[in-house]
Amino acid sequence: MDDRIRFETKEESNARREREFLALTPHERFLWFLRSFDGRRSDPDAVDQPTKNFVICKKDDLVR
């Protein structure tokens, strides 16, 4: 996605982002979904509480 600064309303921004996302192929959408987890890191000091949610975690150290 484009990282340029834009001056637009939230509704305009959401509509633009939706158009850009829907213009991607299904394969590109899936890759975008997987890459969206890269910026999210859990707080190492937080206490993990068990949930019944399905969670996908990306490992930092991959076995080769």
Over residues 9-63, the pLDDT tens digits come to: 999 999 999 999 999 999 999 998 888 887 666 666 666 666 677 777 777 766 6
- pLDDT at position 7: 92
User: Which is higher by pLDDT, 43 or 4?
Assistant: 4
- Looking only at Cα atoms, what is the longest distance across the chain? 46
**Closest Cα partner for 57 from 30, 40, 32?**
40
Give the whole-angstrom CA distance, residue 8 versus residue 14: 10
In this predicted structure, what is the pLDDT of residue 48? 63
CA pair distance 8, 28, nearest whole angstrom: 26
CA dihedral 12, 17, 23, 24 (to 10 degrees): 180
- Please tell me whether the overall predicted TM-score, pTM, comes out greater than 0.75 for this model: no
User: Looking at residue 14, what is its pLDDT?
Assistant: 93
